[in-house]
Amino acid sequence: MSDYEGGPANDDDLSLPRATVYKLIAEMLPDDVACAKDTRDLLLDCCNEFIHLIASESNEICEKEAKKTIAAEHVLAALRELGFEKYVGEVEEAYGEHRQQQTKDRGRKSTKLNRLGLSEEELLRSQEFLFAQARMRFQNQAAQGAPDGGGGSGGGSA
């Protein structure tokens, strides 16, 4: 496989990564409790079903609003619709943290240029200046190379 992303070879075997889910199960149970292997695998299948269920219901709600892309509120409505209201509070909270995190990341990305302390006009001028310099250098090279029929670049092989 040329691009091995650690996932299944074909989409039919698509499920959540085993190791990740096994770890979650272990975290959710008391330290002295284990989960049988076939039970863990069963849980993996249940997760798939759950994802399909929520996605499908979200999609229906989305279509009813004549939208094409499933949005956050569609997912929240789907959870309520399917009897998973108890998840809604915590999911909403996580959503709030998620958006805060995104704003932080976006902020970080834009500071590099801001830190130079130059205005956009100044940046443009300095860019043009660098281009002009490069152009001059190129023209000088060309002028030097031309007279003897361009014998400058690389000698012939023996």
Partner 1 sequence: MVSIESAATPGTSSLPAARVRRIIKEDKDIFACGSDSLFLISRATEYFIDSLVRESYEFSRLDKRKTVQYKDMAKAVQSIEQYDFLTDIIPPTVSLKKNAN
**Positions that interact with partner 1 (CB under 8 A):** 5, 7, 11, 14-17, 20-21, 23-25, 27-29, 32-36, 38-39, 42-43, 45-56, 58-59, 68-72, 74-76, 79, 82-84, 86-87, 90-91, 94-102
Task: Please say which residue, 95 or 131, places its beta carbon nearer to partner 1.
Answer: 95
Write the CB contacts of 77 (distance below 8 Å, at least 6 apart in sequence).
58, 61
Smallest gap from residue 148 Cβ to partner 1 (A) = 58
d(CA 90, CA 76): 11
d(CA 38, CA 19): 14
Smallest gap from residue 89 Cβ to partner 1 (A) = 9
State both tokens at 95: 């959503």
Task: Please say which residue, 105 or 121, places its beta carbon nearer to partner 1.
Answer: 105
Task: Please say which residue, 36 or 143, places its beta carbon nearer to partner 1.
Answer: 36
Encode 23-42: b = buried (16+ Cβ within 10 Å), e = exposed.
Answer: eebeeeeeeeeeeeeeeeee
Smallest gap from residue 111 Cβ to partner 1 (A) = 19
